[in-house]
Amino acid sequence: MVKYQFKVRTRSGMVVEAITIQGRDREDAERKLNQMYLGSTILECTELAPPATREESLDIGGIISLISKQD
């Protein structure tokens, strides 16, 4: 799933920034947003980059070597 960050104007006119919603796609995230903020207008939407993945694998051998290297 992808995370999207929204900036919306609520039906009362207040601007709410940095609302992060996870969805299968943008339409799914917008649907979830509209359920929480009824009658709001989406002013901005950006797709957040996924967190960086570690290149090292966390196998049992690597974990043991990390533990044994500690002082």
Residue 19 tokens, joined? 């609302």
In a domain, residue 24? The reply is yes
* Domain assignment of residue 33, given as a range: 2-49
In a domain, residue 66? The reply is no
The pLDDT value recorded for residue 55 is: 59
Select the more confidently predicted residue: 16 or 65. Answer: 16
Q: Give the model confidence (pLDDT) of 7-59 as tens digits.
A: 999 999 999 999 999 999 999 999 999 999 999 999 999 999 887 666 556 67
In a domain, residue 65? The reply is no
Number of structural domains the chain divides into: 1
Q: CA-to-CA distance for 35 and 33, rounded, in angstroms?
A: 5
pTM for this model (two decimals)? 0.66
Instruction: Give the pLDDT band of residue 63 (cuts 50, 70, 90).
Output: confident
C-alpha atoms less than 13 angstroms from C-alpha of 29 in its C-beta half-sphere? 21
In a domain, residue 67? The reply is no
The pLDDT value recorded for residue 1 is: 85
Residue 12 tokens, joined? 């009362």
